[in-house]
């Protein structure tokens, strides 16, 4: 069952569509135009009419393999801290720039 609500905002109208189907969680979305609401509702209701659509979508999402990053992270914490001190700290307030020496980080007193 599809329900469409119209909300009058300060600038323009917002249309909210909610689809409730037995055996499925309610699905809702907001749009700026009534035509988009009708199109989205039709697509979603058609998809929900197919057997077990949410499981099919879930399986498709699980089968997506993450893309390897173009730049592999091989930085150490020491590299990151020294880069921060060199590139960022000079732009901080003088009181913020007062820090311990790099040799004291990670050492026991």
For the chain, the structural domain boundaries read: 2-54
**Global confidence as pTM:** 0.43
Structure token pair of residue 2 = 């599809």
How many angstroms separate the CA atoms of 96 and 61, rounded?
45
**Residue pLDDT, tens place only, 35-90:** 888 888 887 777 777 666 666 666 555 665 555 555 556 778 888 888 888 888 88
What distance in Å separates the CA atoms of residue 77 and residue 1, rounded to the nearest whole number?
55
Can you tell me whether residue 18 is helix, strand or coil?
strand
């Amino acid at each position: 069952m599809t329900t469409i609500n119209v909300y009058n905002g300060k600038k323009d109208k917002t249309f909210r569509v909610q689809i409730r189907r037995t055996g499925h969680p309610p699905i809702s979305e907001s749009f700026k135009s009534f035509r988009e609401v009708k199109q989205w509702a039709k697509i979603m209701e058609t998809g929900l009419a197919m057997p077990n659509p949410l499981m099919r979508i879930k399986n498709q999402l699980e089968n997506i393999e993450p893309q390897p990053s173009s730049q592999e992270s091989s930085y150490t914490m020491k590299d990151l801290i020294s880069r921060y001190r060199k590139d960022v700290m000079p732009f901080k307030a003088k009181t913020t720039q007062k820090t311990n020496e790099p040799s004291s980080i990670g050492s026991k007193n």
